[in-house]
Amino acid sequence: MRNFIYYKESSLLTQLRFYPLVQLAIIGCLGVIAYFAFSYSRRAEQNRVWVGLAKETAHQLGTPLSSLVGWQAYLRESERFKDEPIVEELGKDIRRLEIITERFSNIGSVPVLKDENILRVTQNAISYLQSRVSRKVSFEIKTDLPTDTPAQVNIPLFDWVIENICKNAVDAMDGRGSITIHLRRPVRNKSQIAIDITDTGKGISKSKLESVFLPGYTTKKRGWGLGLALAKRIIENYHKGRLFVKWSEVGRGTTFRVILNG
């Protein structure tokens, strides 16, 4: 009669088989944590640079702005320039510089959002811009909303967004074409307000759609490529809305959509 002895590896040895896998999992988790910590640190550093640059710009604008206010007061009191329209135009530009200074000062701080008549705010922004770009560019504002529809905005910052998008559109059209601003309710969320800004410019290729909002991206020989990046930051970080390219076709034009909370 034969006897057979069956035996297996000890439970400790069995567990040791999985030890390298556990080690790899722990190392992988530590690597992921380190990556996210590094990414967060970089974003925080970039934010500090943005805020510092904005605050310093606002500070630097203060001195020449004060001087311009004094010169305007002098010209108003001068008999030589009495009733001259250039003095009033100078006043408009001074007030605009004050708004720009306020915009830069608001970067990095929590802006105050108020219920504003979105149609009137948009009209005012376009009115100022229209007289300061090529006369070969036409502007049209359409609305499907009641004329007194409110939206939660900070006017100086929101104006900045409209100007940046429209100025990019003017450049894309080489100073000749049309820009249409259409206010409506989005199909999916009727409590929000959509502002579509459409130009007849060069358009954006599909490969570039994800890059247009990155800091430093520009197709122009001059400029830092910060306009659309700032606009997106203002809408999404400060207004809790959205800014994206709704439609674009090379040779036909582009539509940017701004989503605001009503």
Give the tokens for residue 20. Answer: 């390298």
Q: How far is CA 162 from CA 9, 48, 54, 80, in A?
A: 73, 25, 19, 38
Average pLDDT over residues 76-90: 83
Query: Residue 78's pLDDT is what?
Result: 85
What predicted TM-score, i.e. pTM, was given to this entire model? 0.70
Least reliable range by pLDDT among 10-14, 200-204, 236-240: 10-14
Query: Residue 143's pLDDT is what?
Result: 97
Measured distance CA(12)–CA(35) in Å, rounded: 34
Residue type, 247: W
Measured distance CA(32)–CA(256) in Å, rounded: 35
Q: For the chain, what is the mean pLDDT?
A: 86
Q: Would you say 203 and 249 are in contact if contact means Cβ atoms under 8 Å apart?
A: yes
Measured distance CA(169)–CA(219) in Å, rounded: 12
Rounded (10°) angle between helices 155-172 and 85-106 = 110
Query: Residue 221's pLDDT is what?
Result: 60
Is the pLDDT assigned to residue 107 strictly greater than 80? no
Average pLDDT over residues 131-157: 93
Query: Residue 247's pLDDT is what?
Result: 95
